[in-house]
């Protein structure tokens, strides 16, 4: 008889324990052990030891097979963190799992050493990985979400998701409490059913007396300032729409005499264009998007153009706004030199348009829906033993459940978008399809996007400055892992699991559209490094940049109205303070939108900031050293950002501090 020492670790979170019957078999190159019962008591957080006897030495242990059989009186799901096997010679091998076993099932867990199916792989490993992926493809199924949109998980309710895709008890309780408490607060104050318009903007401060942030208070004070309006294009929650303007668009006939008052006598519009100081925000994507009806009243949406100037003091200032794409007598160009309420109302219309593009294009599509595609494709095409699975999986945590909840409670029929957003009730799928038509690989890769929009040198662009630091840190991590496992380009092109993963993302996420520039296969290590960096950054840093500041910038209604009750003004010189109040959403619409923004801006409990690899999936020394270096890089970036923010008076840019970046799209 040969004896192996086996340690079995149960997860520490609430609900991980099980009283079901768990058995194990060890599978090695020389055979496998008999199935042996481990017992029926597995407390949360425990590490239990067992002796496994076999008739002969099994050689290198390739994987362990775990059996879960139903106990009495009902199924008790079990969270297995890892199995550690020590051979008779004293050699120890870890088999990282971090998965739920639910119902009557068998799971095979490969050793922690990352393995590629490129050459010389034991046939037992090949078979084990095929079985694992076949099972996953039955569990993680695709379905069409909307015409022209990325595919999504085939689940109409979060309860239909596999246990590994569900919230932890801690996260679910925290999320549910925040949702319920926020809704109860506005209901008790009588705001939920109040369809009256606001009679004084200051009354908005009564909605949430205690739910405020440093930045949200400053926004409510600064919202009318042109310098703040320009700042938001750089460091607000939609910092990706602005681009350098080298020629005034033909449908936006801004001339020198219109903007002479703001430019002064020392320069002119042509000089500023030549010097690269003119920028454009174009919302043409909103043309043709149907507007919602809220409180039995039609709502209004427009597609403005906004021209901005970087002045000698490095402030980005709006100069001219046209509220529709077609110039004409009923579509005037509003100027910063116009009367106060004309100019203020024009800026509010731009903020409303930016709100819609942000929520559906920048936030929903470019982070949530793409992260869901990465999640499903990873489960279906990359087995747990693949090194890229180990690298990616921390950035996919909880995405499926939050997206299923969003499709039910936010953007689904009767959801909060229908109740409070101009793009609700039919507008979301139309805008989503238009956003898909504009989606490119370039816009998903931060360095390429910055260059393509001509935003390399504009000052005080903290999204770019902090984002590039995080991007390069992720790129360094990815480069280390890729170069360790893939010794040359040939190994990349011949990795069947990797190629199937990339192809499925291209087909289901980007609908096979070659014009996006998104690759359908990868042939070199450099291509793989860029692709993986994009995936991880999208799920972490990019989501943080476009999500975490929503309450900061949108909780003050005029700075981010979710809808507008009046059409855009067809003439200049007629706007008053009352005109503004008449155009903004009613009380209940406002408070519903504010509740959404508070919920989405606050990550529930059970957080995993970027770089926090709580589950140790890489067991080799080199990958572990690469991860440690990544964590040190993030600490340095965080320190730099905090030092810069300490010198800033007023608004601070917090969203890409690694300590504030959640590893995955989980809210």
From the list 241, 301, 280, 590, the residue with the least C-alpha distance to 428 is 301
∠ CA(50), CA(54), CA(57), 5° rounding? 115
List, in order, residues 6 or more apart from 110 with CB less than 8 Å away: 62, 63, 95, 125, 128, 129, 383, 384, 385
Q: Do residues 424 and 154 make contact, with C-beta atoms less than 8 angstroms apart?
A: no
Tell me the three state secondary structure of residue 592: helix
DSSP designation for 413: T
DSSP designation for 201: G
Q: Residue 192 CB: number of other CB atoms within 10 A?
A: 17
- 119 belongs to an annotated ligand binding site: no
∠ CA(419), CA(281), CA(428), 5° rounding? 25
Q: Which residues pair with 18 in a beta bridge?
A: 42
Q: Do residues 52 and 66 make contact, with C-beta atoms less than 8 angstroms apart?
A: no
Distances (CA, A) of 433 to 373, 426, 437: 16, 12, 6
SS3 labels along 224-261? CCHHHHHHHHHHCCCCCCCEECCCCCCCCCCCHHHHHH
Q: Is 108 left (phi over 0), alpha (psi -120 to 50) or beta?
A: beta
- 15 belongs to an annotated ligand binding site: yes
416-442 burial code (b ≥16 CB/10 A, e <16): bbbbbbbbbbebbbbbbebbbeebbbe
Q: Which residue has the tokens 């840190």?
A: 473
Distances (CA, A) of 191 to 183, 218, 478: 10, 24, 49
Q: What's the helix, strand, coil split of the chain in %, to 5?
A: 45, 15, 40
- 114 belongs to an annotated ligand binding site: no
How far, in Å, CA of 161 to CA of 136, rounded? 12
CA trace torsion 484, 488, 493, 498 (10° rounding):
0
DSSP designation for 8: E
DSSP character string of 123-175? HHHHHHHHHHHHHHHHHS-EE--STTSPPEES-SSGGGS-GGGSPPHHHHHHH
Q: Which residue has the tokens 């906004």?
A: 306
The dihedral built from the CA positions of residue 226, 230, 231 and 237, taken in this order, carries a sign that is positive
539-565 burial code (b ≥16 CB/10 A, e <16): bbbbbbbbbbbbbbbbbbbbbbbbbbb
How far, in Å, CA of 617 to CA of 635, rounded? 22
- 543 belongs to an annotated ligand binding site: yes
Residue positions forming the annotated binding site for Ca(2+): 15
Residue positions forming the annotated binding site for Fe cation: 363, 368, 543, 667
Residue positions forming the annotated binding site: 15, 363, 368, 543, 667
């Amino acid at each position: 008889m040969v004896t192996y020492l086996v340690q079995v670790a149960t997860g520490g979170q609430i609900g991980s324990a099980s009283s079901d019957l768990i058995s194990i078999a060890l599978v090695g190159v020389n055979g496998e052990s008999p199935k042996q019962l481990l017992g029926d008591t597995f407390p949360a957080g425990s590490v239990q030891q067992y002796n496994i006897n076999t008739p002969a030495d099994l050689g290198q242990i390739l994987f362990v097979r775990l059996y879960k059989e139903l106990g009495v009186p009902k199924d008790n799901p079990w969270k297995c963190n890892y199995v550690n096997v020590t051979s008779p010679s004293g050699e120890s091998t870890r088999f990282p799992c971090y998965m739920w076993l639910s119902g009557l099932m068998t799971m095979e867990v490969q050793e922690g050493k990352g393995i590629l199916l490129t050459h010389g792989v034991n046939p037992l490993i090949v078979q084990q990985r095929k079985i694992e992926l076949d099972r996953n493809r039955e569990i993680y199924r695709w379905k069409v979400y909307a015409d022209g949109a990325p595919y999504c998980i085939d689940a109409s309710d979060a309860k239909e998701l596999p246990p590994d895709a569900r919230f932890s008890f801690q996260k679910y309780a925290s999320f549910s409490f925040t949702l319920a408490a926020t809704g109860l607060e506005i209901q008790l104050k009588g705001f939920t059913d109040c369809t009256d318009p606001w009679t004084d903007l200051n009354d908005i401060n009564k909605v949430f007396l205690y739910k405020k942030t440093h930045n949200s208070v400053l926004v409510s004070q600064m919202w009318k300032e042109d310098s703040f309006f320009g700042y938001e294009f750089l460091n607000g929650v939609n910092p990706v729409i602005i681009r350098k303007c080298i020629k005034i668009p033909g449908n936006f006939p801004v001339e020198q005499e219109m903007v002479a008052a703001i430019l002064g006598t020392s320069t002119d519009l042509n000089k500023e264009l030549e010097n690269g100081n003119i920028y454009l925000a174009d919302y043409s994507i909103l043309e043709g998007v149907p507007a919602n009806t809220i409180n039995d009243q039609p709502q209004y949406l427009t597609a403005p153009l906004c021209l901005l100037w970087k002045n000698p003091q490095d402030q980005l200032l709006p100069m001219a706004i046209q509220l529709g794409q077609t110039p004409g007598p009923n579509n005037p160009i509003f100027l910063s030199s116009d009367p106060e309420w004309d100019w203020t109302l024009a800026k509010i219309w731009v903020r409303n348009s930016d709100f819609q593009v942000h929520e559906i294009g920048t936030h929903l599509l470019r982070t949530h829906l793409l992260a869901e595609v990465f999640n499903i494709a990873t489960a279906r095409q990359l087995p747990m033993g693949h090194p890229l699975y180990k690298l990616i999986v921390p950035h996919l945590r909880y995405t499926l459940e939050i997206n299923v909840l969003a499709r039910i409670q936010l953007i689904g029929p009767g959801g909060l978008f229908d109740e409070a957003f101009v793009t609700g009730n039919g507008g979301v799928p139309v805008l989503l399809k238009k956003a898909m038509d504009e989606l490119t690989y370039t816009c998903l890769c931060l360095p390429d996007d910055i260059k393509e929009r001509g935003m390399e040198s504009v000052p005080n662009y903290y999204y770019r400055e902090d984002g590039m630091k995080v991007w390069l840190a992720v790129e360094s991590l990815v480069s280390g892992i890729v170069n360790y496992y893939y010794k040359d380009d040939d190994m990349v092109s011949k990795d069947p699991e990797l190629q199937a993963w990339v192809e499925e993302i291209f087909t289901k996420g980007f609908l096979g559209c070659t014009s996006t520039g998104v690759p359908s296969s990868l042939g070199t290590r450099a291509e793989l490094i860029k692709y993986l960096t994009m995936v991880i950054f999208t799920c972490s840093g990019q989501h943080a940049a476009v999500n975490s500041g929503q309450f900061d910038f949108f909780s003050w209604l005029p700075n981010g109205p979710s809808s507008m009750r009046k059409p855009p003004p067809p003439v200049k010189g007629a706007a008053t303070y009352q005109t503004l109040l008449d155009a903004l959403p009613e009380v209940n619409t406002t408070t519903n939108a504010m509740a959404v923004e508070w919920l989405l801006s606050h990550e529930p409990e059970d957080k995993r900031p970027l770089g926090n690899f709580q589950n140790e999936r890489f067991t080799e020394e080199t990958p572990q050293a690469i991860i440690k270096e990544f964590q040190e890089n993030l600490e340095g970036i965080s320190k730099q950002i905090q030092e810069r923010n300490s010198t800033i008076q007023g608004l601070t840019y917090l969203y890409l501090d690694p300590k504030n970046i959640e590893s995955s799209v989980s809210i």
